[in-house]
Structure 1
Amino acid sequence: MNDLNKEIQFVKGIGPKRAEKLHKLNIFTLKDLIYYFPRQYEDRSKVKKINQLENEEKVTIKGVITRMDSYSPKKGMNIIRMDMRDDTGYIKLSFFNQEYIKRAFKSGDSIVVFGKVKIENNFKEFVPIEIEHYSSKPQSNCKIEPVYPLTYGLSNKELQGIIRSVLTKEEFKVKEYLPTYILEKYKLCGIDFAVRNIHSPSNKEALKIALYRLVFEEFLILQLGLFYFKNGVNESSGIEFKENEKLNDIIESLPFKLTKAQNRALSEITQDMTSSKVMNRLVQGDVGSGKTVVALLALASAVLNGYQGALMAPTEILASQHYDSFKEILERFNIKSELLVGSLTKKQKEKVLEKVKNQEVDILIGTHSLIEDKVEFKNLGIVITDEQHRFGVRQRGRLSNKGDSPDILVMTATPIPRTLALILYGDLDISIIDELPPGRQPIETIAIEHKRRNEAYENLVRSEVQKGRQVYVVCPLVEESEKIEATAASELVEELKREFFSDLRVGLLHGKMRPAEKDAIMDDFKNKKLDILVSTTVIEVGVNVPNATLMIIENAERFGLAQLHQLRGRVGRGNHKSYCILIYNSKTEVCKERMAIMEETTDGFKISQKDLEIRGPGEFFGTRQHGLPELKVANIFKHIKILKQAQLEARYIIGQDRRLQLKENQKIKEEILYKFSEREEISLN
C-alpha cells in the first residue's frame, strides 16, 4: 500500500469510473490523492444547546428526533420535516429531496446535525448540511471537517470518503524523506502525521502542526529546486568584462535620452559584468519602461569585450521586433545581429548556425530555437531571457549552458511584489525600472458592463479611427486552447464586420496562425493598412505600434489583473491620448473590485500586489507558465517567516551539497524531481 506511484484506478475501492472524476482534478496516482489538500475547513467541533443558538451561525447540535413527516408541495419536490429536542428546547429541521432520510432515520433516534441557524420572530429553524446518528465516533460532525476543491459529479463527502478509506488502511504509511536534522532543527512533525491531520485533523492543534510541516516543506522543495536548476547561490568565477568607451558612443547615438531608472539599472548590470562572479540579475520594469534598450546595451558591452550574446524571447513577433531595433542601432558600430526562429527555412537556419559557430554573429536573437542542440556559440559571454516567466526553469538553464559561465540577465514586464520575487528569484539580484520615458500620456481606463458594449464600438472606436488612430480588440480568454480561442477570435471579426464596421479595415491575429501570417498581419497594422486588429492574447507582450490608441478587452473578468495590465500596455506608446475599455459580464464583488483597481491605477506593482491578494499565490504564479510546482498550502503573505527560514536552509543545503548527492539528501532530490517534473521534463543527473 506504500507504492505512492500506483495509478489511482487500481487503488482498492476506487475503480475506473471514480478515477475518471479524479483525473479531472489532476489526481492520477495515490500520491496525487493524498497530496490533494483541502482548501478550507469547517469547524464542526463547536456543539451548542438549542437555547444557545444565534441567527445565521453554522454550528453542531445533538438531540433526539421527536417527530418526522414528509410531503410533496409540487411534482419533483419532496420535503421532510423533523422535530428535534435536547434538554433545553425544540427546533425544526427541513430536508429537501433527500429521500434516504426517511429510510435512515425515525422518531426516537439520537442524532447529531451540523447546519445553519435561522431565527425569525422568535421562530427557530435549523437548515441541516450534514446529519448522522449519534455515536462516540461521529464520521463528519463534532470535528474539524475538510472542504476540498471539487469537479462536476464528485461531492465533498465522496472525495473525503475516498481519502479516508486510504488513510485508515492499517498498512498505509507515508515514508519520511526530510533528513532528521531538519525535522529536529525546525521542530517539524513527521510527514505521515502531517498528511493524516491535514485531511482529518484530530483537533485544531494537530491541524496547526500539520500545516506548519507542509508549508515549510513546500517552500524548501521550491527553493532547493530553483537553486539547483538556476545555478543558484552561484559564487563560481565568471567573465570579468572591462568597461569600454564605445558603449558611451552607442548610448549617445540613441534617438532618446535614457531615464534615471534605466541608467541606474545599467550601472548595476555594469557592476556585475565587471566583477569576477557570474551575474545573476533580474530586470523588472513596468510595461513600456524601456527594458529592451538596457538589454541591448548589456549585450553590446559583452560584444565590445570580444564575446557573443544571446537574447531569448517568448514569441516570434517579439524576437523579430528586437532583431529589427537591434540591427537599426548596432549595425553602424559593426555589431552583427541575427535572428533564429522556427519559421526560417532549413537552409536559412543552417546558414545562421554556421555564422554563430564561427563568431561571425555577435548577438543571436530568437525564441525557443536558441536552446536546440544544434545551436553552438564560439564564445558566449551573456544570455538574456525576455519575459522570462514564459520560459521554464530548465529552458533558461539550457541556454546558459551553451557558454562557459556566461553572465545571466532575465527581464520581465510583469511587475512582481517583493514577497513573490523572494520565491521566484531568491537567487537573483533585482534591478527595477520604475519610470516611464518622457512624453508618455497616462492611459485612461474605463470598465463598462456588457450591456453598454455597443456604445464602445459605435462611439469610441469610430471616433479614434476618424482621428487617424488604430484600435486593438482582444478576444475573451476562452480556455487553455489555441484552437478554441482562434475560433472565438474569427467569430468576433465576423461580428464586428457585420454589425459595426463593414466600412473599416479589420484584421485578425491568433496563436494558430503560421509565423509568416502573424508577421504579415502585424506589418499591415504597423503600416496603417488596418484600422482594427482583433487578437487573442498573443499581442500581450512587446508589440509596439505607437499609432494604436484604443484597446478594447472583451470579457475582461476572465483575465488576471496582471494580464489586463500587460494588454493595456499595448496602447499609450506614442504621444496621443490613449484609452483602455474593459467590457465585463459578471456582477460579483470580486469582479467589481478588480475592474475598480484597473480604473484607479496604471502602476503595475500595485496591480500585481492586488492580483496576488485577490487570486492567491497559486493562481497568480501561473505556475504552469513558470515551470514551478504548485503551492498547495503555503501562502507567501501569511507564511513569509517560514519562507525565509526555508530559503536559508535551502542555501545551506546547496552550499554543502551542490548536486544533492549526499545520502541524507537523496530523498529530497527525488521529491524535487517529482514536484518539478509535474511541470517540465527535468533531469537531475
Structure 2
Amino acid sequence: WVSALHAICTGAQVAFMAPTELLARQHAQVADSLFRESGVRVAFLNGEVHGKPRQALLEQLKAGNIDLLIGTHALFSKDVEYRNLRYVIIDEQHRFGVEQRQALLEKGLEPDVLLMTATPIPRTLALTVFGNLNVSTIKTMPKGRLPIITHLVDDSKRDRMYDAVGVEMQRGHQAYFVYPRIDDEGNSDLRDVQTMYEFLSTKKYPQFHGALIHSRLPEEDKISILNDFAAGKLDYLVSTSVVEVGIDVPNATCMVVEHSENFGLSALHQLRGRVGRSSLQSWCFLAYEKTITEDGKKRLSVLRRTNDGFEIAEEDLKIRGPGELSGIRQSGFLHLKFADLEKDVPMMAAARDEVDAILSSDPGLLSMDNAVIRQVLSL
C-alpha cells in the first residue's frame, strides 16, 4: 500500500488485481480504511457490477477521477479504460495466466508491476534467474507465529488424524477439510465434498458445527459461510480448493487435504497457509492414497520438510520445468542444448549481473567496448 500511495502521489493511477471476489473485497476494505482520510479515491470493480453503476465507474476511471481501482479479472475487460495507469499490483500472481496479466499491463503505458505470491510458479522463478524480475523475499514470520507442523497421512493413520483434529476443535479451535471434487460423478475413486461433509457431520463430528463450501455456490452464500467461519460460528469447513486464497481466520489450527498427491506444490502450500495465522500451534495433514507414485511422494516430502515458499517453488521448478520465458506456458521444460537451469543458476546469475552493469554504464551500447554486443543484438 505504501508503494501504491507513492505512485498515486506522482499522479499515476494504480490497478490492484486479485483472483477471487472475496480476496479483492478484503483488499478493497483495507484500502478504504487506510486511505479514507488521505483523499485517495478508491473504487471496486468485478464482473457483478453492471448497467449504470458500471458505466459511471468507467467514466470516472477514464477521466482520471479514480486513483486506485481494486478488483478481479474485470480490471482488464475490453470496456475498461484508464487515463494514466502506471502501476499494477497483482496478488496471488500464480492464479493468473500469462495472457491475463499481459492484458492488464496493456491498459497502461509500460506500467511498473508488483507481483505477490507465497509460492512463485516455475516460470516466474525462472524469470528471476534470467533477470527479468527483481525479487524481494520476506523471510521472517510475523511476531509470535509458530512454524506449521506437516504430517503425511496414509490409510493406517487416518483415524488418528481425525482424532487429532477433533481434539483441536474441542479446544475451541477450527479446521478445514479440503477435497478435490464437489460431488461423486460415479467415475472416480476420489473423495468429494458432498459425501465427506455427510460423513464428517454425522459419523465423526456430530457434536460440532460445520458447513460445506465450493465454487458452485452463489457468491453471496460463500461470503456468508466464510463470514460465519471467521466469526467462530462454525467449527469446521468442508471445501474444495476454493479456500486456497483470501481466507484469514487466526483461530483455525488444522488443515486436512485429502488426495493431496493430486494437488500441485504451490496449491498445497497455499492451502497450508490458511492455518498458522496466529500464535497458536497449527497442523497440516496431507492424506494420500496407496496408489501414490514416487514423484507424488517426493512432492509431499518437500512440504513436510519445509515451510519456505521459495524453497518449495525451487523444487516445483525442478519437477515441472520453467515453461516459456517469452511465451505463455507457465511450466514445462525448455530443452536447452547446453544450459541446465538447475545446475547453472550461479553462472546465469553472474551473467545477469554483468548485463546489468553494462547497461547501467552504457544503456545504448554506444561505447567501443560494447560495439560487438551491439552488432550481435542487431542481427
Residues 196-211 of structure 1 mapped to structure 2, 5 A cutoff:
none
Matched, 1:413 2:115: no
Q: Match of 2:230?
A: 526
Aligned pair partner of 2:90 in 385, 401, 405 = 385
How far residue 328 of structure 1 moved from its aligned partner, in angstroms, is 1.8
Residues 341-352 of structure 1 mapped to structure 2, 5 A cutoff:
341-352=46-57
Match of 2:287, SS state, is: strand
Matched, 1:572 2:276: yes
- Does the 8 Å contact 1:464/1:470 carry over to 2? yes
How far residue 570 of structure 1 moved from its aligned partner, in angstroms, is 0.8
Q: Match of 1:234?
A: none
Report the structure number with the largest CA radius of gyration. Answer: 1
Q: Match of 1:372?
A: 77
The residue type paired with residue 581 of structure 1 is F
Match of 1:516, SS state, is: helix
- Does the 8 Å contact 1:489/1:508 carry over to 2? yes
Q: Supply the distance in 2 between the matched residues of 1:485 and 1:365 (Cα, whole angstroms).
A: 40
Match of 2:88, SS state, is: strand
How far residue 397 of structure 1 moved from its aligned partner, in angstroms, is 2.5
Greater RCO (CA < 8 Å, at least 6 residues apart): 2
Matched, 1:551 2:255: yes
Residues 596/379 of structure 1: CA separation in 2 closer, same or farther (3 Å cut): closer
Aligned pair partner of 2:165 in 461, 475, 481 = 461
Q: Match of 2:370?
A: none
- Does the 8 Å contact 1:343/1:516 carry over to 2? no
Q: Deviations over 1:305-354 (max 9, x none)?
A: 23221111111121111111111222122223221112334343233323
How far residue 644 of structure 1 moved from its aligned partner, in angstroms, is 8.7
Q: Match of 1:633?
A: 335
Q: Match of 1:608?
A: 313
The residue type paired with residue 300 of structure 1 is L
How far residue 502 of structure 1 moved from its aligned partner, in angstroms, is 2.5
How far residue 372 of structure 1 moved from its aligned partner, in angstroms, is 0.8
Residues 358/588 of structure 1: CA separation in 2 closer, same or farther (3 Å cut): closer
TM-score when scaled to structure 2? 0.79
Residues 604/494 of structure 1: CA separation in 2 closer, same or farther (3 Å cut): same
Q: Match of 2:174?
A: 470
Residues 548/629 of structure 1: CA separation in 2 closer, same or farther (3 Å cut): closer
Matched, 1:323 2:25: no
Residues 641/492 of structure 1: CA separation in 2 closer, same or farther (3 Å cut): same
Q: Deviations over 1:381-406 (max 9, x none)?
A: 31111222322333223222323333
Q: Supply the distance in 1 between the matched residues of 2:324 and 2:233 (Cα, whole angstroms).
A: 36
Q: Supply the distance in 1 between the matched residues of 2:179 and 2:66 (Cα, whole angstroms).
A: 39
Aligned pair partner of 2:303 in 595, 598, 601 = 598
TM-score when scaled to structure 1? 0.46
Match of 1:571, SS state, is: coil
Residues 354/522 of structure 1: CA separation in 2 closer, same or farther (3 Å cut): farther
Q: Supply the distance in 1 between the matched residues of 2:192 and 2:244 (Cα, whole angstroms).
A: 17
**363-372 vs 625-634, which moves further:** 625-634
How far residue 433 of structure 1 moved from its aligned partner, in angstroms, is 2.1
| Aligned-pair Cα RMSD in Å | 3.7
Match of 1:396, SS state, is: helix
Q: Supply the distance in 2 between the matched residues of 1:450 and 1:533 (Cα, whole angstroms).
A: 22
Residues 219-368 of structure 1 mapped to structure 2, 5 A cutoff:
296-368=1-73
How far residue 466 of structure 1 moved from its aligned partner, in angstroms, is 2.1
Residues 377/503 of structure 1: CA separation in 2 closer, same or farther (3 Å cut): same
Q: Match of 1:20?
A: none
Q: Match of 2:368?
A: none
Residues 582/340 of structure 1: CA separation in 2 closer, same or farther (3 Å cut): same
- Does the 8 Å contact 1:388/1:410 carry over to 2? yes
How far residue 596 of structure 1 moved from its aligned partner, in angstroms, is 3.4
- Does the 8 Å contact 1:486/1:536 carry over to 2? no
- Number of equivalent positions: 350
5+ long unaligned stretches in structure 2: 366-376
Residues 622/469 of structure 1: CA separation in 2 closer, same or farther (3 Å cut): farther
The residue type paired with residue 193 of structure 2 is A
Matched, 1:536 2:240: yes
Residues 424/395 of structure 1: CA separation in 2 closer, same or farther (3 Å cut): farther
- Does the 8 Å contact 2:209/2:234 carry over to 1? yes
Residues 638-677 of structure 1 mapped to structure 2, 5 A cutoff:
none
Q: Match of 1:431?
A: 136
The residue type paired with residue 317 of structure 2 is L
Matched, 1:493 2:182: no
Match of 2:205, SS state, is: coil
Matched, 1:584 2:288: yes
Q: Deviations over 1:146-176 (max 9, x none)?
A: xxxxxxxxxxxxxxxxxxxxxxxxxxxxxxx
How far residue 640 of structure 1 moved from its aligned partner, in angstroms, is 6.0
Q: Supply the distance in 1 between the matched residues of 2:25 and 2:129 (Cα, whole angstroms).
A: 28
Q: Supply the distance in 1 between the matched residues of 2:112 and 2:66 (Cα, whole angstroms).
A: 18
Q: Match of 1:659?
A: none
5+ long unaligned stretches in structure 1: 1-295, 657-664, 666-685
Match of 1:333, SS state, is: coil
Aligned pair partner of 2:266 in 542, 562, 565 = 562
Q: Supply the distance in 1 between the matched residues of 2:150 and 2:112 (Cα, whole angstroms).
A: 39
Match of 2:276, SS state, is: coil
Match of 2:110, SS state, is: coil
Q: Deviations over 1:162-206 (max 9, x none)?
A: xxxxxxxxxxxxxxxxxxxxxxxxxxxxxxxxxxxxxxxxxxxxx
Match of 2:137, SS state, is: strand
Q: Supply the distance in 1 between the matched residues of 2:314 and 2:258 (Cα, whole angstroms).
A: 23
How far residue 452 of structure 1 moved from its aligned partner, in angstroms, is 2.1
- Does the 8 Å contact 2:41/2:65 carry over to 1? yes
Match of 1:433, SS state, is: coil
How far residue 591 of structure 1 moved from its aligned partner, in angstroms, is 4.0
The residue type paired with residue 475 of structure 1 is Y
